[in-house]
């Protein structure tokens, strides 16, 4: 029935976990007062009248970090099977991983030197 055995538990647990917020939201809908005014629906800005919205263009300083993140996240995904099978692979796999990580470290050093890891 299931191609991946054990994952029926995952699906079942997903349902059970989704039921928790569902129950919370539904019970809160039954319990809470339902008053809605214009004033209470304004955006919070330390009690001031909000000046403009937040959906504007501005410099997201974390952009370069997220680019570097993508590279290293994919790297870790590639390294997982290597680590699991390492005891069967031996010295050659170690050398290969060394080369693989060395290439990425060169990338990291490059990004570092270029200032991609500076926040300012």
Interface residues with other proteins (CB under 8 A)?
Answer: 6-10, 12-14, 16-18, 20-21, 24-25, 27-29, 31-36, 38, 40-46, 50, 53-55, 60, 62, 65-66, 68-69, 72-73, 76, 79-80, 83-87, 90-91, 94, 97-98, 101, 105, 108, 112, 117-120
CB of 23 to other proteins, least distance (A): 10
Tokens of 25: 């939201």
Burial of 93 (0-12, 13-18, 19+ CB in 10 A): middle
The answer to whether the beta carbons of residues 43 and 50 sit under 8 Å apart is yes
């Amino acid at each position: 029935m299931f191609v991946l055995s054990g994952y029926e538990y995952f699906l079942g647990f997903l349902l059970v976990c989704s039921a928790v917020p569902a129950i919370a939201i539904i019970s809160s809908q039954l319990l809470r007062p339902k008053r809605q005014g214009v004033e209470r629906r304004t955006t919070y800005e330390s009690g001031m009248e909000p000046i403009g919205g937040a959906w504007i263009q501005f410099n997201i300083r974390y952009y370069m970090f997220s680019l570097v993140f993508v590279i290293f996240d994919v790297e870790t995904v590639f390294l997982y099977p290597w680590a699991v099978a390492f005891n069967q692979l031996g010295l050659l796999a170690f050398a290969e991983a060394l080369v693989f990580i060395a290439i990425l470290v060169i990338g990291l050093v490059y990004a570092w030197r270029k200032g991609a890891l500076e926040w300012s």
